[in-house]
Amino acid sequence: MKKQLYYEDIAVGGEIPPLVKKPTTDQLVRWGEVSGDHNPIHFDEDFARSRGLPGVIVQGQLAFSFLSQLLSDWTGEQGVLLKLNCSYKGMNFPGETLTCRGKVIKQYTMADKYYVDCSLWVENPRGEKTLSGTATVALPHREQ
């Protein structure tokens, strides 16, 4: 089990421990199978090139799942993801190391519940942000 994060443990500006992912062509195929996304731009090198792409590209929603994992790894079992929004800013390619990062932008309480808003992004090996977004997570409080 991941270590539990509590509301008292966070501070605005605090960084989320980065998550490093390296999607492979096999992973693209497997994600295609479980999601039913059979668009050949994710599996077929020649097809992808015929569409003007440099090669097969990582499914946007597979990269979205990396941001979701970044949050669940950080918040632990009792953290509840309420919102996760992201824009796909650039293409990701299999074999490249993707670093998922984030930081706390706001923490607040509402109706006796504890929330944290974060900004999140995925960086490719050239330091470009290929995904960027925001999330809201409900966290437990030690004294409740």
Interface with other proteins (CB under 8 A): 1-2, 21, 23, 27, 30-31, 33-39, 51, 60-62, 64-66, 68-69, 72-73, 77, 80-88, 133
Nearer to other proteins among residue 31 and residue 115 (C-beta): 31
Answer positive or negative: Cα dihedral of 104, 137, 17, 34. negative
Q: Supply the DSSP string of 46-86, one letter for each residue.
A: HHHHHTT-SS----HHHHHHHHHHHHHHHH-TT-EEEEEEE
**Shortest distance (Å) from residue 129 CB to other proteins:** 14
- CB nearer to other proteins: pick between 11 and 82: 82
Determine the Cα–Cα distance for residues 29 and 37; give it in Å rounded to an integer: 9
Nearer to other proteins, 133 or 140 (CB): 133
Kindly state the DSSP code that residue 117 receives in the 8-state scheme: E
d(CA 9, CA 7): 5
Q: Which residue lies nearer to other proteins by CB, 80 or 104? A: 80
137 and 108 Cβ atoms separated by less than 8 Å: no
| Shortest distance (Å) from residue 47 CB to other proteins | 12
Q: How far is the CB of 61 from other proteins (least distance, A)?
A: 6
Query: Shortest distance, CB of residue 71 to other proteins, whole angstroms?
Result: 8
